[in-house]
Structure 1
Amino acid sequence: MTDFFNYKRRKTSVTHIGNTPLGGENPIRIQSMTNTDTNDTEGSAAQSVRIIEAGGEYVRLTAQGVREAENLQNIKDLIRSKGYQTPLVADIHFNPRAALAAAAIVEKVRINPGNFADRVKTFATFEYTDEEYAQEIDKIREKLIPLLDICKEHKTAIRIGVNHGSLSDRIMSRYGDTPEGMVESCMEFLHICLDEDFTDIVISIKASNTVVMTKTVRLLIDRMEKENLHFPLHLGVTEAGDGEDGRIKSAVGIGSLLADGIGDTIRVSLSEDPELEIPVARKLVDYITSRAHHPQIAGQLNNTFSPFSTDRRKTYTVGNIGGDSLPVVISERTDDDFSFDVHFMPDYIYIGSNLTERTPRAIPLIMDAAVWAGEANTYPLFDVSNYQQIAASTASINFLRLSYTDLNEEVLSLLKGNHSIVILLATSHPNGVGEQRAFIHALMNNGCETPVVISRCYQESDAEDIQIKAGADFGAILLDGFGNGVMLANKGQIAQKELDKYMFGILQAARVRTSKTEYISCPSCGRTLFDLQTTVARIKDATSHLKHLKIGIMGCIVNGPGEMADADYGYVGAAAGKVSLYKKKDVVEKNIPSEEAVDKLVQLIKDNGDWVDPE
């Protein structure tokens, strides 16, 4: 059972993958996927080597057909001739025959239950009787057993890889687009494997939506534990994007599960060169696992909390904080630096005791209670040393900085009796996520509905490091349904206006506040039908001012139409040099020459009334 307060790895069985076993007492493995044409032996081998030299412990290559699957042998031979023994993984969609060919060559085969045996996704709804549904499972069995037989013969592992964007019409018809449907899609294949006494299995359940991803993985683990199954898990956020957004979104989704001890191998899916994914994944794993053996946190789980629910903690409203209000962003400006990014203006700024003529008055100010004099648009900040003075405060919002160790009966009594208080929840514990969770559960256990702003402070000088750490830490709390705001501070060499941008990015990645265009872009692979990185840059350049749209950019149809259902507009590779455009899950125009497709996408947005001219 998951301990939400104290970090420890989930116990799993061991899956044998070449010379690099997974699960059990083995470390969390790092991996990536090539984006070369798998028929290009030299190019695929060279990129595989770059991934390996960057620290990749598994390398995945797409095998969309038998020809590509068979060429995996040439790629493998070339990699091995260079002295690298890293296990190779074949990625299979739509083509069981390709899986059969690949299973005799590589160390692991990934199959997608959404398209291994079921028809191509059409979003059509079918009515199945129980007998008809059972017959469909038998069809899966007929196609899967030959693969299992080859895998047994060659000691090849299998990953059952469910993607939110490619659930079959059959699953969608019976379960809908739900976490329960994703879990069932996985368990159908897992049960067939177990019936055939095949256990070298890895499981993944991925989504671009971090809320869906984390809740579904927890639901899967619960289902497996009820059946006494403990297979290792592969974690990833699909179509995370590139740059800062891709790193933050991956840290929020993957980091939240790693914080619970869940996950045995991870892939950070960035729309960048695949070897660039490896150091990001390594930083994330190292950061989370460094909290092992931390001082124990004595927390008590609230009996109304469900790790499978998307409900948010109930709080009262103080000003624009708490209740149904969007989570706020508080920016620390105690150093008298008041430069801002106009696209990411904080809701409050904390200035300590440093109120000067330069201090902006248009943004609400938080200042230390000792120097607060009641000036308009300013609010006092108390702490454990002077919280008794809150009773005499005339402010409409009284901020109170606390940590878990400060919470006692007197403080709880104050919180329950005074509804002008907003907590700034700080932590310096090695497992700050666990300690902040324990604080919020203590509030819930005492019937206290005070709004809580999550506060963290780091000492980083590298932007990527703080994106990863803050994304993982804030993300875990936000995805639990906690947190009425965030406050990110840093003692390193990163401008506070950049930290403000990261806070908005974290809130968006956790699906609690939208502040900019969201790009759901795949990381590219050998199936990609256009230059993904260039295309993403062109689309961002044309549309990034459209703050409340989600735009999907997919290299092919494997996840394209499915992820389009979660996006407002979609740009999907249809054939070499051809693109199809979607409005949500509906294709609007097919086979557009790629050089015209970005302009056509802009026109589609305009035609649907979602366009505004950039300022």
Structure 2
Amino acid sequence: MDLFNYSRRETSEVMVGAAPLGGPNAIRIQSMTNTSTQDTDACVAQAKRIVDAGGEYVRLTTQGIKEAENLMHINIGLRKSGYMVPLVADVHFNPKVADVAARYAEKVRINPGNYVDAARTFKELSYTDEEYAAELQKIHDRFVPFLNICKENRTAIRIGVNHGSLSDRILSRYGDTPEGMVESCMEFLRICVAEGFDQVVISIKASNTVVMVRTVRLLVSVMEQEGMHFPLHLGVTEAGDGEDGRIKSALGIGALLSDGLGDTIRVSLSEEPELEIPVARKLVDYIAQRTEHPFIPGMPAAEFHYLSPTRRVTTAVRNIGGEQLPVVIADRMDGRSEVDPQFTPDYIYAGRELPTQPETPDMQYIVDADVWTQAANTWPAFNYQQLSLIDACQSELKFLFMPYTALTDEVLACLQRHPEVVVISQSNHLNRVGEHRALAHQLMEDGLKNPIVIFQHYAENEAEELQIKSAADTGALIFDGLCDGIYLLNQGTLSHAVIDATAFGILQAGRVRTSKTEYISCPGCGRTLFNLQSTIARVKAATSHLKGLKIGIMGCIVNGPGEMADADYGYVGAGRGKISLYKRKECVEKNIPEAEAVEKLIELIKANGDYEEK
């Protein structure tokens, strides 16, 4: 794979009804209903809204045989109205349901974590090699008849691995690791190949974006080693709602799309399903602009490992680089003075003149080098044409604005002499991810340890546009370990508060700096056992001031307990109108009436010493 130049991975084509994916086809967009699959009219109406918004596939949960059989009526209802959208059945726990669904849906999603293996219980099991092989034979014997049904009915399948529902068997041998997630998928893919069944799409998801990106990268590498070219479905599970859900999804999905990976995507928001479609469309269209971009002559650094990247080694300059958290630099050259105390930038670039009313007494300012003085208690910024000033300047911290195309031998020599210089990497390239990467790899190859702040420049008037584009442009750089800070400049009409919150949101979504409560909430489906959106609003109202906590809000048990392992506290649907509460992956109270559950969650947080009054 070319780290610096965008091109889509070549994959096999999979026929999903009349809307094939993979191969030469454009990236497909999909969503999932959250109505009961036994309610034909509700499912048809919601599927229509998804299609009208631009969705190309509609997925429905099929808990049992009745739901699977009702796909026929839902399909008929849609076709009568002129909607030819392919339907995807979502199956967990019961392979018999998959057999039925394959007769009525254009694609069936199965979960390797619970297709034959028992539901995850977090028990530590032990298998001999013979016992483990016997379990694999059970999968083979149950899976092959399903593949035969799919062949007869021309039904595609999705092998959908979720971090939250890995089986105890996989965990016993591989642990809770990307390698375990990949092997869970490969066990089924190898059977597909052996049986000559190639109508397969793969997804491998997590709510943790770092795990999601690393696992998909690893999966593609393993498939290539085994000569497989199956297309990929991308998504971040339990991404949440609002700006958090948009940033987290664009960061994780965008990082993979930027590397040419992905043939269909779903942006999973805890909102109405049709609202996911415009977000996904904006993300896909933005990445597609990179097609046939001007060539970037980058060279990969020998020390960089794409499948298991670590943070680039840098020299700490004050609070930038080294082991320090990535910083946020913001812009205030328009004279406007506003700051949200929760999202206060580490540095403010003021250009040639400091604000007359500093936003906070201890605000750190950056000014242009030719107006900088030692007494001003600011830090100088140099553009790439001011190298001569760097040697003369006695500041302990300096910022050098530098595009990759200007990274000459003279500049490299200057950086070698001045480890106190922080490089602000600039790019106006169609593929700015590739150009930022090229600069970082050049510094690594030359043994330079100057920190790098990623500068991203936009002109957006809608917050959603900024969130999607900036997260998509920055995600891969964070996951590659190349980001010691970010600097978002937006010359549209958005407020500084929105821009600053987006910058901090990107760092939090990338798991490199926490500035607020993180909510791991599913988008809801026909399995959801309570009003998800109103519950999220109530939980947020009571806990959003608790910086650093992760709270999971999950509609059912499919991924609920598994994702609780990555959350400090969990709120999971246990039955109609009943909630179970978790402390990490341990259930601490079961079957609480829904009306009391949010208050009980707050009591649990308080009892563990993690609650502070507003």
For residues 184-206 of structure 1, the C-alpha deviation after alignment (integer angstroms, 9 at most, x for no partner) is 00000111111211110000000
Hey, what does 1:333 align to over in structure 2?
A: 332
Hey, what does 1:100 align to over in structure 2?
A: 99
Hey, what does 1:183 align to over in structure 2?
A: 182
CA-CA distance at 1:354 after TM superposition: 2.1
Hey, what does 1:200 align to over in structure 2?
A: 199
User: What is the rounded CA distance, in whole Å, between the counterparts of 1:4 and 1:275 in structure 2?
Assistant: 34
User: What is the rounded CA distance, in whole Å, between the counterparts of 1:420 and 1:46 in structure 2?
Assistant: 61
User: What is the rounded CA distance, in whole Å, between the counterparts of 1:129 and 1:388 in structure 2?
Assistant: 68
TM norm structure 1: 0.99
Paired residue secondary structure (1:488)? strand
Hey, what does 2:582 align to over in structure 1?
A: 582
Matched, 1:353 2:352: yes
Q: How does 1:43-442 map to 2 (within 5 A)?
A: 43-360=42-359, 361-442=361-442
CA-CA distance at 1:130 after TM superposition: 0.8
CA-CA distance at 1:375 after TM superposition: 3.0
Letter in 2 for 1:176: G
Contact 1:517 1:550 in 2 (8 A): yes
For residues 377-397 of structure 1, the C-alpha deviation after alignment (integer angstroms, 9 at most, x for no partner) is 300000111122111112110
For residues 320-347 of structure 1, the C-alpha deviation after alignment (integer angstroms, 9 at most, x for no partner) is 0000000000111001111111111110
CA-CA distance at 1:356 after TM superposition: 4.1
Q: What percentage of aligned pairs have identical amino acids?
A: 61
Contact 1:211 1:310 in 2 (8 A): no
User: What is the rounded CA distance, in whole Å, between the counterparts of 1:595 and 1:285 in structure 2?
Assistant: 40
Letter in 2 for 1:441: H
Paired residue secondary structure (1:214)? helix
Paired residue secondary structure (2:375)? coil
Letter in 2 for 1:422: V
Hey, what does 1:502 align to over in structure 2?
A: 502
Letter in 2 for 1:571: Y
Q: How does 1:509-520 map to 2 (within 5 A)?
A: 509-520=509-520
Letter in 2 for 1:354: E
Hey, what does 2:447 align to over in structure 1?
A: 447
CA-CA distance at 1:454 after TM superposition: 0.4
Q: How does 1:28-43 map to 2 (within 5 A)?
A: 28-43=27-42
User: What is the rounded CA distance, in whole Å, between the counterparts of 2:355 and 2:25 in structure 1?
Assistant: 55
Comparing 365-374 with 245-254, greater Cα deviation is found at 365-374
CA-CA distance at 1:310 after TM superposition: 4.2
- The count of corresponding residues between Structure 1 and Structure 2 is 613
Hey, what does 2:480 align to over in structure 1?
A: 480
For residues 545-588 of structure 1, the C-alpha deviation after alignment (integer angstroms, 9 at most, x for no partner) is 11010000000000000000000000000000000000000000
Letter in 1 for 2:245: G
Letter in 2 for 1:611: Y
CA-CA distance at 1:4 after TM superposition: 1.1
Contact 1:249 1:506 in 2 (8 A): yes
User: What is the rounded CA distance, in whole Å, between the counterparts of 1:345 and 1:173 in structure 2?
Assistant: 44
User: What is the rounded CA distance, in whole Å, between the counterparts of 1:358 and 1:604 in structure 2?
Assistant: 43
TM norm structure 2: 0.99
For residues 457-490 of structure 1, the C-alpha deviation after alignment (integer angstroms, 9 at most, x for no partner) is 1011111011000010111211111110000011
For residues 523-555 of structure 1, the C-alpha deviation after alignment (integer angstroms, 9 at most, x for no partner) is 000000000000000000010011010000000
User: What is the rounded CA distance, in whole Å, between the counterparts of 2:548 and 2:357 in structure 1?
Assistant: 33
CA-CA distance at 1:416 after TM superposition: 1.4
Matched, 1:549 2:537: no
CA-CA distance at 1:143 after TM superposition: 1.6
Contact 1:349 1:366 in 2 (8 A): yes
CA-CA distance at 1:496 after TM superposition: 1.3
Letter in 2 for 1:497: A
User: What is the rounded CA distance, in whole Å, between the counterparts of 2:469 and 2:356 in structure 1?
Assistant: 35
Letter in 1 for 2:529: L
Paired residue secondary structure (1:308)? coil
User: What is the rounded CA distance, in whole Å, between the counterparts of 1:263 and 1:314 in structure 2?
Assistant: 30
Paired residue secondary structure (2:591)? strand
For residues 480-521 of structure 1, the C-alpha deviation after alignment (integer angstroms, 9 at most, x for no partner) is 111100000111110112100000000000010000000000
User: What is the rounded CA distance, in whole Å, between the counterparts of 1:22 and 1:451 in structure 2?
Assistant: 41
User: What is the rounded CA distance, in whole Å, between the counterparts of 1:455 and 1:539 in structure 2?
Assistant: 35
CA-CA distance at 1:426 after TM superposition: 0.9
For residues 136-173 of structure 1, the C-alpha deviation after alignment (integer angstroms, 9 at most, x for no partner) is 01111122112111100000000000000000000000
**Structure 2, unpaired ranges of 5+:** none
Contact 1:28 1:263 in 2 (8 A): yes
User: What is the rounded CA distance, in whole Å, between the counterparts of 2:199 and 2:303 in structure 1?
Assistant: 37
User: What is the rounded CA distance, in whole Å, between the counterparts of 2:49 and 2:139 in structure 1?
Assistant: 37
User: What is the rounded CA distance, in whole Å, between the counterparts of 2:374 and 2:457 in structure 1?
Assistant: 28
CA-CA distance at 1:357 after TM superposition: 2.3
Query: CA distance change for structure 1 residues 13 and 333 in 2, over 3 Å: closer, same or farther?
Result: same
Matched, 1:13 2:20: no
For residues 209-239 of structure 1, the C-alpha deviation after alignment (integer angstroms, 9 at most, x for no partner) is 1111111001000000011110000000000
User: What is the rounded CA distance, in whole Å, between the counterparts of 2:144 and 2:320 in structure 1?
Assistant: 56
Contact 1:336 1:359 in 2 (8 A): no
Contact 1:516 1:548 in 2 (8 A): yes
User: What is the rounded CA distance, in whole Å, between the counterparts of 2:459 and 2:371 in structure 1?
Assistant: 27
User: What is the rounded CA distance, in whole Å, between the counterparts of 1:39 and 1:333 in structure 2?
Assistant: 55
User: What is the rounded CA distance, in whole Å, between the counterparts of 1:223 and 1:68 in structure 2?
Assistant: 35
CA-CA distance at 1:373 after TM superposition: 1.6
Paired residue secondary structure (2:29)? strand
User: What is the rounded CA distance, in whole Å, between the counterparts of 1:549 and 1:562 in structure 2?
Assistant: 17
User: What is the rounded CA distance, in whole Å, between the counterparts of 1:219 and 1:345 in structure 2?
Assistant: 36
Letter in 2 for 1:149: N
CA-CA distance at 1:66 after TM superposition: 0.5
Paired residue secondary structure (1:349)? strand
User: What is the rounded CA distance, in whole Å, between the counterparts of 1:77 and 1:169 in structure 2?
Assistant: 39
User: What is the rounded CA distance, in whole Å, between the counterparts of 2:377 and 2:193 in structure 1?
Assistant: 64
Letter in 2 for 1:612: E
User: What is the rounded CA distance, in whole Å, between the counterparts of 1:316 and 1:188 in structure 2?
Assistant: 44
Contact 1:164 1:563 in 2 (8 A): yes
Comparing 357-366 with 463-472, greater Cα deviation is found at 357-366
Letter in 2 for 1:88: L
Hey, what does 2:492 align to over in structure 1?
A: 492
Hey, what does 1:606 align to over in structure 2?
A: 606
User: What is the rounded CA distance, in whole Å, between the counterparts of 2:519 and 2:142 in structure 1?
Assistant: 36
Paired residue secondary structure (2:374)? coil
User: What is the rounded CA distance, in whole Å, between the counterparts of 2:249 and 2:171 in structure 1?
Assistant: 26
For residues 384-442 of structure 1, the C-alpha deviation after alignment (integer angstroms, 9 at most, x for no partner) is 11122111112110111000011011111111121211111111111111000000000
Comparing 270-279 with 143-152, greater Cα deviation is found at 143-152
For residues 273-328 of structure 1, the C-alpha deviation after alignment (integer angstroms, 9 at most, x for no partner) is 00000000000000001111110000001121111214111000000000000000
User: What is the rounded CA distance, in whole Å, between the counterparts of 1:377 and 1:528 in structure 2?
Assistant: 55
